[in-house]
Each structure stands twice: as C-alpha cells, then as structure tokens.
Chains A and B, each alone.
Chain A
Amino acid sequence: MPRSSGQRDGATSKRSERYAAVKTRAVAAALVVTMAMACTACSSSDEEQTHARIALSFARSASMWLDGWMNDGVPRAYVKRSLESTGEALGKRIDKLPGSISSSVSAPMKDIAHDLDTARHAVDAGDKARVGLVLSRLRKSTAALDAWKQTHRESGS
C-alpha cells in the first residue's frame, strides 16, 4: 500500500536520526579498535622477517628478469627499468634500517642492492657475460638470506 507524502516525510526524518546515531557508535568503536591494534604493531623480529622477505623477492624477481633477458624472452627496456626500480626501493629500505637489525639480514640485503645496480648497467651495455656473473652472485646472496630465514623460522623467534 503506497504511503502518503506526509507520513513518508516523518518516517524519513526518524529513520535519518536513527541511522546517524548507529553510525556515530560504529565510528567510535572502530577508532577504539584501531588505537588498540596500533599500540601492538610490529616487533623488531617481524621487521627483520619483512626486510628479508622483500629483499629475497626482489633478488628472485631479478633472477627471473635476467634469465628472461638472456634468453631473449623479455624486452631490455622493461628489465632495465625493473632492476632500477627494485634497486632504488631496496636502497631506500637499507638507508632506513635501524641499528637493531642483524648483520645476517643487512649484509645480504646490501649485496643484493649492489647486484641489482651492477645487473642494470650490464643489461644497459648488453653484456650477457657480466649478467651471468651477477646471476651467480645473486644466488649466493639469496642462499645466505634463505639460511637466516630458515633458522629464524625453526627457532620460532
């Protein structure tokens, strides 16, 4: 049964007030939860794990880009730009590393950043022999970080 316009205006106004009250309560609850969660965010061990995971992902991505380029499977411009971008991102992370980060994590991270930079220059110069050397160095750095990650996982720290 359609309602008259007067009835609908009154009902609309009450519904608006109720809706606004529920919304205010929901926003307040969300703020409390957010603040509580923010207080417990990110331990130093989590931070090391995050840095290691990102550096490993960049190194392995670089290996795939370089393998692809060596086999003429991906364009040079894309590989060069990818190495440049991930190298810069890793460099920024290294610059912001706190002193509490273990050298077992920071040293391979620095090696990977250096390898990304060398690889970019080698790709730019079209030097496949040099890229082959960088690839083997990248494998060593990732093995070192992997070993740290494994120990860290097993010790459960």
Chain B
Amino acid sequence: MKKLLEISLGVVTSIGGFLEMGEMSTAAQAGAAFNVQLVWAVVLGTICVAFLVEMAGRFSAVSGHTIIDGIRDRFGIKVLAWPLVTTVLVSLLVLSAEIGGVSIALEFATGITYRWWAVPVAVASWLFLWRGTFGMLEKGVTSLGLITLCFVVAAFRLHPDWAQVAASAIPSKPHTQAATYWFMAASILGASLSPTLFLFYSSGAIEDRWDRSYIGANRAIAALGMTFGGVISAAVLVVAAQSMHAHGIESIEDFHQLPLLLIDTFGMWGFALFAASLAIASFGAAVEVALLQGYLFAQSFGWNWGQDCPPRANPGFSLAYTLALVIGAIPIAAGADPLKLTILSMALTAVNLPLMVVPFIVLMNDEHYMGEHRNGPVSNAAVLGITGLAFVLGVVTLPLQIIGGT
C-alpha cells in the first residue's frame, strides 16, 4: 500500500514537473510554424526520456551512486570534467531561461517589465532552497504544476483532427523552411531530454534512500509519469497548431504572443491560466536546475550534499546553487530575450547530450555496478539512437539559425 502511494505520488509529481519554459516554448513555436507535423519529435523525446529516467532511478537504487558520482568512480575526474563543464554551462543558460519564464509570467500578471523580476525570482528560488526540504520541492511545487493540464483541456476543446495528429507521430520531411523545421525538432528533443531531468532524478533517488526494492516503483513512475508528461507537451503543440497556425500566426518571435495559446480557448481565464502555468512550471524548474548545480559540483568533488541537511552542513553544495542563481539572473536582468534564450539553450542541450549520456550508458551496462540489473539491448538502442539524432540535428541546424537570425 505504501509503495502504491509512493508510485501515485511519483507519477503525479512527474506529470506536474514535466512542463517548463523550454517544453512550452519549443512546442508552441513548433505548432505555430508547422501545424502538428512535429508531434513525432515530442513522441521520440518522451520515449527516450522515459528510458533515461528509468535508467537513472535503477542505477541509483541498485548501485547506491548518483550518475555523476558513478561516472567519476568509473572513468576518473578527467573524463568527468568534459561533461561536467558543458552541463554546468548549458544548465546555467537553462536556469536563465527558467528565471525568464517566471519573470515574464510576473510581467503578464503585473504589467511591470520582466527585467525587474529577475532578481526577486532568483532570491525567492534561493530562499526556497535555503529554507525548504527536498520533499517540499518534490511534492509541493511539482504538484502545483498539475495546473499545466489546462493545455490538455484546451487541446480537446479546440477539436483538432486527431487522425492527423496520430499520423504526425511518424517522422516526416518538411514542405517549407527545412532548416527551421529540423532546428525545432532538435530544440524539442533538447527540451525533453535535458540532462537536468535524469541527473536530478538520480540524485533524488539517493535523497529518498531508494534501494533495490524500488526498481518496480521506479519503472512505473518513469513509464507513467513521462508518458503523461509527454501528453501535456504534445497538447501544447496541438493547441499552438489550432489557436495560432490555423489563424495564420506561423511565427512566435515575441514572448507576448505565448498567452494567445489559451486566450483563444478560455478568454480572460486563458490569460490567467497561462500566466499561472508558466510561473509555477518555470519556478519549479528554476529551483531544480539551481539545485542540480549543487549536486553536480558536490558529487564531482566529493563534498557533502543533500537538500534535507541544513546549509551549514553542506557549505560547498549551498554555495554552488547560490552562485548559480546569481549568474542565472544576470542575463534576464540585463534584458536578454527569455524566449530566444530558451530556444537557444534547448538546442545546445541537444548538442551536449551525448557527453553525459554515453558514459551513463557504459555505466548502465557495467556488471560491477548493475549486476543482474544491467541494461538490455532495447534501452541501449533507443537511448543512443534518439540522443544521436538530437545531437546531429542540433549540430547541423544551430549555426544556420544563428546566421539566419530567425
């Protein structure tokens, strides 16, 4: 009964914590530009992230290590240094994007420009981490994230052609704007497969003291939570296709266009729902990404870590997330466009993926760590294939988008 409750809670928090600024922006832009044609990227991303999250939980439950800790132990600090540096840099960009997400939600709510909200949002996130517990983040903020289910309701109310949506789950070539199409695919995959999610999940499994008895619960949480999360992400894309592409809005260049996603369906309530969804989802993500910086540094250098211990017991860990929030707030306070920053950071995440995923896959196949719970060929092939695709798309299309400037 206790396990069943934990599974239910895990699934609920996975759903509530799935959508954030990156998922929302990439899916909205893809739906506006290409109708439902890019649903396949959301499907591939969801399949891959379900495998990655399941593997992350299984690894921690069986070996007692987090992924970072495991890579350091297996390959040494020199090999860990590359993925560590790039993941920290990309995560800082993602953190800025999430702070930007909360800031623009506050601009919608108050009319005060987003730049002024960057520092208060960073301070609020820091206070949450300084004073709060892992349970408050895991169960509190992410449960509030269930508000993002309003996108699923909107998708049904807009009556899309569901046969066309289902057919779009199979990858197809674009009719126009090929470079933008593949770039959007890379960004959607980057948003879904962010290392933040599985590195955080692995650290969370250790924080929650998982052991081998959690393998079944972990599998259920990863499969159900990520699938339903993917459904919300696909719903955003469908809503964008119906409320923007269908009205001739084929480009979202300005974040002020984003609330139109729900205004079309719910009117004034749509505006409020969008602002609340963006604020809660991005705040949860900002706190998680900042906390991940603490995990990354503490686990790489063997410092004490743990969100449930007081900050004075983990000075290095606490300093790392504090500095991350300071650095993350700077671009937004300086006036960087949160939408452009988000799309760029998601594409960079796709490019950075193999650096973290490849050593992780090696660990998952190592009998020394995993014993009889090693990976099977299906999970190896799915994860390597999809992250490889995301990497190639990101590497090829990112320079074109930067040069093209669109």
Contact = CB atoms under 8 A, between A and B. Distances in A.
Interface of A: 2-3, 12-13, 15-16, 19-20, 23, 30, 33-34, 37-38, 41-42, 49-50, 53-54, 56-58, 60-61, 64-65, 68, 71-75, 77-78, 81-82, 85-86, 89, 142, 146
8 contacts: A15-B75, A34-B395, A53-B250, A57-B257, A64-B264, A77-B111, A85-B254, A85-B256
A140 B111 CA distance: 30
B208 interface: no
A78 B399 contact: no
Residue picked from B74, B75, B256, B264, most chain A C-beta under 10 Å:
B256
Interface of B: 32, 74-76, 78-79, 82, 107-108, 110-111, 113, 176, 179, 247-254, 256-257, 259-260, 263-264, 267-268, 271, 359, 368, 395-396, 399-400, 403-404, 406
Given A19-B79, A38-B403, A75 B249 contact: no
B82 A23 contact: yes
A57 B263 contact: no
A38 B263 contact: no
Contact of A74 (B79, B250, B254, B263): B263
Contact of B248 (A33, A56, A71, A73): A56
A18 B359 CA distance: 12
A75 B109 CA distance: 9
A140 to B, nearest CB: 15
Contact of A12 (B75, B111, B251): B75
A16 to B, nearest CB: 5
Contacts of B251: 53-54, 57
B93 to A, nearest CB: 19
A105 to B, nearest CB: 15
Contacts of B267: 68, 71, 73
Main secondary structure on B side of the interface with A: helix
Contacts of A81: 107, 111, 113, 256
A42 B179 CA distance: 10
Main secondary structure on A side of the interface with B: helix
B76 A16 contact: yes
A46 B277 CA distance: 35
Contacts of B108: 78
A54 B253 contact: yes
Contacts of B264: 64
A6 to B, nearest CB: 14
5 smallest beta-carbon distances between A and B, as pairs:
A77-B111, A82-B256, A57-B251, A73-B267, A57-B249
A71 B402 CA distance: 40
Contacts of B368: 2-3
A53 B271 CA distance: 25
Nearest to B267: A73
Contacts of A74: 259, 263, 268, 271
Contacts of A75: 111, 271
A53 B359 CA distance: 43
A142 B248 CA distance: 10
Contacts of A37: 396, 399-400
A78 B256 contact: yes
Nearest to B247: A60
A41 B400 contact: yes
Contact of A30 (B76, B271, B395): B395
Given A16-B76, A60-B247, A64-B247, A78 B111 contact: yes
A50 B396 contact: no
Given A34-B396, A72-B268, A74-B263, 10 more contacts: A41-B400, A49-B176, A50-B406, A57-B249, A58-B254, A64-B264, A68-B271, A73-B263, A81-B256, A142-B248
A57 B253 contact: yes
Contacts of A33: 395-396
B263 A86 contact: no
A89 B396 contact: no
A7 to B, nearest CB: 11
Contact of A86 (B74, B254, B406): B254
A42 B404 contact: yes
Nearest to A40: B400
Contacts of B176: 49
B76 A12 contact: yes
A103 to B, nearest CB: 22
B400 A38 contact: yes
